[in-house]
Structure 1
Amino acid sequence: MSNELTLEKAGAKTPAGETLLELSGLQKHFPVMDGFLFKRQVGAVHAVDGVDLTVSAQEAVGLVGESGCGKSTLGRLVTRLYEPTAGTIKYQGKDISHANRKELAPIRSEIQMIFQDPYSSLNPRQTVGAIIGAPMEINGINPPQGVQRRVQELLETVGLNPEHYNRFPHEFSGGQRQRIGVARALSLNPKLIVADEPVSALDVSIQAQVVNLLQELQKDLGIAFLFIAHDLAVVRHFSQRVAVMYLGKIVEIADRKSLYESPRHPYTHALLSAVPEADPDDHREQIRLNGDVPSPINPPSGCRFRTRCWKAQDKCVTEEPPLVQLSGNAEGHLTACHFPEEGAAAVPAPRDAK
């Protein structure tokens, strides 16, 4: 990694532990319209429905859950690609929930996004140099060494050849394209990066390379990450804290060790039981959930997981469980369940776990 780039980044670090991002009661409802000529709203998709979450400076927070639970929508709300329906988004103490384009201008450079698909997120008509350099030109940033030199440094930082400056995206593999996306996100010296399933479209052999690259950047450059994924093994490797999302709500959040070794929410237990284990002597039973995820247009009353939960009782129908710290949990381990599991380890820790 370029020493010059590292020093430049280090100077812009926010002190570790300081709250960088704070979400409170965040909601995003997409209207469902009916009618041919005179359209009227007949419902709404509750994609994100009351999320409370914080991300500290230089921290990596993982967000996991089934497809369709609202993870990607939450990421786009954080980057203000979507306008929230309700709730607040605070960045370094400033409410940006409904900030206009002019008010967001100085913050845009500090919150960047890595998209899921490395094929569709890059303009095929532009060279790599133009793709990575565009954010700097749009924001009027002129590095002392020039834009081209800065782009070449970024290419070297993400493990690509600086001489590839004039190549087009179709000349690269999937893993290399995602590295170009990472370089583009780094071009504005961000303090927070939202990584939306950054390795799900890549071959397994390439996933580890990209995740290790992001982990090195997070540690060396002091960048905070909101790491969205459905692969719990990848999230365990990358994140210090993990939030579990189900049908628009966070049902459990804890530090990595506490969540993976002592999960309390039944849904977390079910997710972790499905993680493949390399140990041939491991014969744990996989928890199979009955039915499908309910429609976000008409989510269940009370606890949203109750329609698939083996512990559901009458209370779960009428009362929504609050996200609170249960007795016996580690500090900061929050669970939203009326009848939580005992907290026994759902999966054995990997041998190389740190």
Structure 2
Amino acid sequence: MTVGTADEPGPLLRVRGLTKHFPTRGGRRRGGPVRAVDGLDFEVRAGETLGLVGESGCGKSTTGRLLVRLLEPTDGSIEFAGHDLTRAGRRQLRPLRAQLQIIFQDPYASLNPRHTVGRIIAMPLRVSRADPPGGTKARVRELMELVGLNPEHYNRYPHEFSGGQRQRVGIARALATRPRLVVADEPVSALDVSIQAQVVNLLRRLQRDLGLALILIAHDLAVVRHLCQRVAVMYLGRIVEIGDRDDIYERPQHPYTRALLSAVPNVGHLGPAGRLRLTGEVPTPLDPPSGCRFRTRCPKARDRCAVEEPALVRRGGGQATACHFPESGPLRPERGRATA
């Protein structure tokens, strides 16, 4: 099977109706499924960066694992480079997996402590049966240098590296097969604050220099603004707003997006008195609310929100919003404009 080329028309990744339900059992009685991801539609073009944000438990990481087929979807389709990943068998997936890689959140748990970093970085090359020019060892050393590691440390083990260096090993492993799209699942959240900026800047440089498409899963909205051209906001397994970065950060339409952004001082600039506070707890994905899933915490909820689920559509502005009563003004006064 031939993998598509960079100049092909249309999006590199097209997701339609993506759903993942996990069955549960509670005591003697069987409970309903956990609706972790419940009907996602979005696209990513070649070389584009998309940020996927939302509170913990909204389905971000599950979505990332679905995209690279570490989890099997319950329903929906994932089309990558013109091929349907959801229906591809192992033989058809092999050349596609080389083009679609993932960076995991925890650099401690994602590296095999019994293998040297050289072997870890080389593993995708062996699995995909790649034969890089100059050999596998030369390619691994090249990758180590690319991510800021000393190639002479090829034979060291993960425990001999710091947390930031281990994450660089994970990044090098993801880049080994020259992928076209990389899913980065909270790549800096497990790192010390002092080195997070270094890894973020590394990802930004690699994305730009290598022309990668990048899906960044994160809860840090400042990091997403720094790296991503487009942003999708998730709540309880659904995308509630998606659009260009400036539209999302400067003129958010969904009440949930506005509340998230107002809580970040260097994004919202509203201060404690101007923060948009949400009341109530996040509903369980075992039994999400009828109609709009955000209505139980939304200050604008009306009777219509309980009986009619809002569609993700454009109602003016550059972004698509799933809300019956979207906002129309900027998040903050003009005098408080932030810089990206």
Using structure 2 for the length normalisation, give the TM-score: 0.94
Which residue pairs with 1:350 in the alignment?
A: 338
Is the partner of 2:327 in helix, strand or coil? Answer: coil
Which residue pairs with 1:308 in the alignment?
A: 297
Using structure 1 for the length normalisation, give the TM-score: 0.90
* Amino acid in the other structure paired with 1:340: P
Distance, in Å, in 2 between the alignment partners of 1:133 and 1:79 is 19
**Size of the alignment, in residue pairs?**
335
Following superposition, the deviation at residue 230 of structure 1 comes to 0.4
Q: Does 1:23 align with 2:15?
A: yes
Q: 1:13–1:222: 8 Å Cα contact kept in structure 2?
A: no
* % identity of equivalent residues: 61
Which residue pairs with 1:150 in the alignment?
A: 139
Q: 1:272–1:346: 8 Å Cα contact kept in structure 2?
A: no
1:1-354 correspondence runs (5 A): 14-15=6-7, 18-34=10-26, 41-277=30-266, 285-327=274-316, 329-330=317-318, 333-346=319-332, 348-351=336-339, 353=340
Distance, in Å, in 1 between the alignment partners of 2:324 and 2:268 is 34
Give unmatched runs, 5+ long, in structure 1: 1-11
Distance, in Å, in 2 between the alignment partners of 1:282 and 1:267 is 18
Is the partner of 1:19 in helix, strand or coil? Answer: coil
Distance, in Å, in 1 between the alignment partners of 2:255 and 2:280 is 15
Runs of 4+, deviation exceeding 2 Å: 15-18, 33-36, 276-284, 345-351
C-alpha RMSD of matched pairs (Å): 1.9
Q: 1:269–1:346: 8 Å Cα contact kept in structure 2?
A: no
Distance, in Å, in 2 between the alignment partners of 1:299 and 1:144 is 52
Is the partner of 2:14 in helix, strand or coil? Answer: strand
Following superposition, the deviation at residue 321 of structure 1 comes to 0.4
Distance, in Å, in 1 between the alignment partners of 2:253 and 2:330 is 8
Following superposition, the deviation at residue 101 of structure 1 comes to 1.3
Distance, in Å, in 2 between the alignment partners of 1:60 and 1:104 is 23
Give per-residue Cα distances to partners, 1:179-213, cap 9 Å, x unaligned: 00000000011000000000001112211111111
Following superposition, the deviation at residue 282 of structure 1 comes to 5.4
Give per-residue Cα distances to partners, 1:186-244, cap 9 Å, x unaligned: 00110000000000011122111111111111111111011000000000000000000
Structure 1 residues 262 and 19, CA, compared in 2 at 3 Å: closer, same or farther?
same
Give unmatched runs, 5+ long, in structure 2: none
Following superposition, the deviation at residue 284 of structure 1 comes to 5.5
Structure 1 residues 16 and 246, CA, compared in 2 at 3 Å: closer, same or farther?
farther
